């Protein structure tokens, strides 16, 4: 059986996982029917895509450092202490005397989750390229960042590209999650920046919907071909209730979804990506890797509030793997293409 590190023979060995991003504070309604325009009780929880990833990675046993910026405000102190208490290294975090942490207010609509952000000028979005801890990249094994950072402002965008440059200089594997946000910019320039990042990534973890937006393709085979053509050796597509798939070297390995009661999917994709980092670090077999990631992402959906509440432990993931044996399917990318275009071929 193929092991996941066989795809990356030039990558450095096991080491620290670096995650770049912005910490946020989420305000989640305790009553799913409550709207932002209504009074009611909310749950205050530390969040942010990169923060969730970092806490999940540390929880799975990885040596993980968060790279970002916080202020001296109480919310910044809360966020930093929250990730540190879960085993995330914070020595690479920049401290500012001004600015405050960004806030996100969530409501559950019939059409899905809706976020209202208060993050314009937030301290976490003001990270500058020269503030990156270059020494942290020496001996690191993986750099991960979410694509929504590219749409915050020019300073954060430059920091992202500089971080990838440092990763490449140090033979650090680059993991990229497009993490598109409808609340942020979505136009041709956004897609161009996404494709630029994709061209430098070793592994990417978009949802199927995100991948369709970025590539302009509809069929899964077309999406995968376009993404691989951009550069990544391993393309991972998450498909909500339909599970996930790994695409590599012309082969596709898919795992069916696991039927669980969904409470809140916030952080599922970030936790899935962190689980993938764990699989890479431990050089798991492909079949074990997709099963581990699929269970990790699924478990997040069963609880509300990501950091400290919904992120599963490694033991919980392994328990689900035992209680819900993975239903896997393997086929070639060419075979999938022929199935999707059988009428044209006929």
Q: What is the DSSP string of 151-212?
A: GT-HHHHHHHHHHHHHHHHTT-EEEEE----TTS--SHHHHHHHHHHHHH-SEE--BHHHHH
pLDDT at 185 (0 to 100): 58
Give me the helix-helix angle, 188-200 and 220-230, nearest 10°: 70
| E strand intervals along 15-139 | 16-20, 24-29, 42-47, 64-67, 69-70, 94-95, 102-109, 112-118
Instruction: Count how many domains the chain has.
Output: 1
pLDDT for the residue numbered 230: 93
How are beta strands 244-248 and 251-255 bridged, if at all?
antiparallel
| End-to-end Cα spacing for the chain | 34
What predicted TM-score, i.e. pTM, was given to this entire model?
0.93
CA distance 58 to 56: 5
pLDDT at 111: 81
Write out the residue range of the structural domain in which residue 244 sits.
Answer: 4-345
Answer whether 271's CB lies under 8 Å from 300's CB: yes
* Amino acid 183: pLDDT: 57
Determine contact, residues 132/159, Cβ cutoff 8 Å.
Answer: yes
- How much is the pLDDT for 263? 86
Rounded Cα–Cα distance for residues 246 and 262 (Å): 23
What confidence score (pLDDT) does residue 184 get?
Answer: 57
CATH value at residue 80? 3.40.1190.20
Q: Rounded distance, CA 88 to CA 54, Å?
A: 6
- The pLDDT value recorded for residue 187 is 74
Q: Give the Å distances, CA to CA, from 124 to 41, 102, 121, 130, 149.
A: 26, 7, 8, 15, 10
pLDDT of residue 110: 85
**How do the residues of the chain divide into helix, strand and coil, expressed in percent and rounded to 5?**
45, 25, 35
Burial 171-183 (b: 16+ CB within 10 A, else e): ebbbbbbbbbbee
- DSSP class of residue 97 equals S
Tokens 């799975």 found at:
60
Local structure of 138: helix, strand or coil: coil
pLDDT tens for the chain, 346 residues long, are 689 999 998 776 668 999 999 999 999 888 888 998 999 999 898 999 999 999 999 999 999 999 999 999 999 999 999 999 999 999 999 999 989 999 999 888 888 788 888 888 999 999 999 999 999 999 999 999 999 999 999 999 999 999 999 999 999 999 999 988 765 556 778 888 888 999 999 999 999 999 998 899 999 999 999 999 999 999 999 998 999 999 999 999 999 999 999 888 889 999 999 999 999 999 999 999 999 999 999 999 998 777 867 899 999 999 999 999 999 999 999 999 999 887 665 5
Whole-angstrom distance, CA of residue 275 vs CA of residue 103: 26
Distances (CA, A) of 315 to 32, 252, 318: 29, 28, 5
CA-to-CA distance for 221 and 344, rounded, in angstroms? 14
């Amino acid at each position: 059986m193929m092991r996941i590190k066989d795809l990356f023979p030039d990558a450095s060995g096991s080491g620290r996982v670096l995650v770049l991003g912005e910490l946020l504070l989420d305000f989640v309604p305790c009553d799913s029917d409550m709207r932002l325009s209504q009074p009611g009780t909310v749950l205050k929880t530390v969040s942010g895509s990169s923060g969730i990833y970092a806490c999940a990675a540390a929880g799975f046993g990885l040596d993980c450092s968060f790279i970002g910026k916080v202020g001296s405000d109480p919310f910044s102190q809360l966020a930093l202490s929250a990730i540190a208490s879960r085993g995330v290294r914070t020595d690479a975090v920049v401290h500012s005397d001004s600015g405050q942490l960004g806030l996100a207010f969530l409501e559950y609509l019939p059409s899905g989750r809706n976020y209202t952000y208060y993050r314009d000028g937030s301290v976490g979005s003001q990270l500058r390229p020269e503030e990156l801890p270059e020494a942290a990249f020496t001996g690191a094994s993986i750099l991960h960042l979410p694509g929504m950072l590219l749409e915050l402002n020019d300073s954060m965008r430059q920091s992202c590209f500089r971080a990838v440059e440092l990763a490449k200089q140090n033979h650090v594997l680059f993991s990229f999650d497009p993490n598109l946000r409808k609340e942020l910019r979505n136009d041709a320039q956004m897609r161009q920046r996404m494709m630029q990042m994709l061209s430098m990534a070793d592994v990417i973890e978009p949802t199927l919907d995100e991948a369709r937006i970025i590539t302009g393709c509809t069929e899964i085979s077309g999406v995968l071909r376009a993404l691989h053509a951009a550069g990544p050796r391993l393309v991972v597509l998450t498909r909500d209730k339909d599970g996930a798939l790994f695409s590599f070297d012309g082969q596709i390995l898919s795992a069916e979804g696991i039927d669980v009661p969904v409470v809140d999917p916030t952080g599922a994709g970030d936790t899935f990506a962190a689980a993938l980092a764990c699989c890479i670090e431990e050089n798991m077999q492909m079949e074990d890797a997709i099963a581990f990631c699929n269970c990790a992402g699924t478990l997040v959906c069963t609880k509300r509030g990501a950091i400290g509440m919904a992120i599963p432990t490694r033991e919980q993931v392994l328990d689900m793997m035992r209680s819900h044996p993975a239903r896997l399917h393997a086929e070639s990318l060419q075979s999938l293409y022929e199935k999707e275009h059988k009428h044209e071929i006929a």
